[in-house]
């Protein structure tokens, strides 16, 4: 298995992994990045476009796993501040202001 950051040149691999419906009913791994209302409005193509912008910006919002050269897995990982949903959560909100990363 090889693991690489999700970069613009790997966008097609993300589309392969997430499939035509965007993985979990149009999520495109945007759940933690949006309010609940925004997420519901953006399910599908809008979430895909938002994730594509993040990847195109060089943000590398996660890691892609490859088996025999084919995309086989995904792990979202980013600085905590990239996941505003968590900051609003009673149980997941930050307990300090230290710069940490989150794996969703």
Average pLDDT, the chain: 92
Tokens of 1: 């298995």
- The whole model's pTM is what? 0.88
The pLDDT of residue 57 is above 90? yes
Domain count for the chain, please give it: 1
Tokens of 102: 């989150």
Segments of the chain assigned E as strands: 2-5, 62-67, 70-79, 101-103
1-31 pLDDT per residue, tens: 999 999 999 999 999 999 988 888 899 999 9
What pLDDT sits at residue 21?
A: 86
Structural domain including 21 reads 2-103
Please provide residue 79's backbone torsions phi and psi, each rounded to the nearest 5 degrees.
Answer: -60, 145
């Amino acid at each position: 298995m090889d693991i690489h950051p999700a970069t613009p040149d790997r966008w097609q691999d993300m589309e392969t992994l997430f499939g035509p419906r965007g993985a979990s009913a149009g999520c495109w791994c945007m759940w933690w990045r949006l309010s609940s209302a925004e997420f519901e409005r953006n399910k599908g193509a809008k979430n895909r476009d938002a994730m594509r912008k993040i990847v195109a910006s060089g943000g590398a919002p996660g890691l892609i796993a490859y088996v025999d050269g084919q995309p086989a897995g995904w792990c979202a990982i980013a600085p905590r501040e990239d996941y505003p949903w968590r900051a609003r959560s009673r149980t997941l909100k930050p307990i300090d202001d230290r710069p940490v990363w989150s794996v969703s």
